[in-house]
Amino acid sequence: MKHLTILGTFLWSAFFFATSCAQPVPARTEFVLGTICTVNLFEKGTDKAYTEVFNRLAELESILSANRDDTNLASINMNAGIAPVKAAPETLLVLSDALLFSRKTEGAFDPTVGPLVKAWNIGTDYAAIPSDQALRKALSLIDYTKVILDEKEGTVYLTEKGMKLDLGAIAKGYAADEIVRILSAHKIRKAIIDLGGNVFAYGEKAPGEKWIIGIRDPENNGGNSILSLQIKNQSVVTTGIYERFFEQNGIKYHHILDTKTGYPVQNNLLSVTIITDKSMQADALSTSVFALGAKKGKALLESLPNTDAIFVFKDRHIEATGNLAGKINMLSKNYTLTQ
């Protein structure tokens, strides 16, 4: 599943912002949630506001991380096949949404993918192709229907030993939404939130002027943008085969794993970008739609309100869903937009 890095999904740099957007405190960047997170408050950017935002991110990491042994999620995983575990409200909320997307995608998105993620270790120094035996074992433990979420008791139970939840494909989206909630409570009107590539463009750059967000060229490690679009109060999240990968014998193995085969998803896509109002939904959908492929992914998107997507294909053509018609500014001559 998706674990974005600072190499990142987007290019939103200083030249996108008008010089009139003066800020009393510069943007703050910290390593949290397993990635580099940057929050830029263009209004009321005080130390107190930034501290509240990053304290909340650290709190969410202490609850939802699958890569630490002291989190609520880790406790649920350690008790798989043993007993239900009292879950934090955040765990219940995020897991509930994750299971909803599992049902919508018939398991293409599955929060129990943890054993498969561990088998590959992509993004670590130990990344390697798992043995057939290891893959079979991991796949046998992936089944979202074996997650018992009891909202009345506030518990989560994984019914088989060895099962592991991994919310890496949805948790940063929830975290971005939480920052938006904090900013709204403080009546801060404009900000850019970038949690390792999960971007939320909050408010407007200036009255009547939207933010300009660039979408990265998935074939260019330099981070050049292939297109841009203007948004406000929306999240933009991309999943692509370039985010985390390793190469062996000339073959690239990326981090978007097929829950049926156990191997990285193989289709004609380089990346999928989702644009919608809630970052948690954008986060989950970017992985879901990529895993489903363009045809099934578009069918899923058509069932959801206020949700659009940009598909970048391996033959370097780009397709966008209907609401984006006429709103995309192409920046690269290497790609062709078809609508």
Q: How confident is the model at residue 224 (pLDDT cuts 50, 70, 90)?
A: confident
Q: What is the pTM of this model?
A: 0.91
- pLDDT tens, residue by residue, 151-188: 999 999 999 999 999 999 999 999 999 999 999 999 99
Model confidence at 317: pLDDT above 70: yes
Model confidence at 231: pLDDT above 90: yes
Q: How confident is the model at residue 222 (pLDDT cuts 50, 70, 90)?
A: low
- pLDDT tens, residue by residue, 258-307: 999 999 999 999 999 999 999 999 999 999 999 999 999 999 999 999 99
pLDDT at 15: 30
pLDDT at 101: 97
pLDDT at 220: 80
Model confidence at 205: pLDDT above 60: yes
Q: d(Cα 91, Cα 119) in Å, to the nearest integer?
A: 24
Q: How confident is the model at residue 322 (pLDDT cuts 50, 70, 90)?
A: confident
For the chain, give the number of residues: 339
pLDDT at 18: 36
pLDDT at 48: 94
Give percent of the chain with pLDDT exceeding 70: 92
Among the listed residues 172, 224, 221, the one whose alpha carbon sits nearest the alpha carbon of residue 200 = 172
pLDDT at 243: 83
For range 137-146, the mean pLDDT: 98
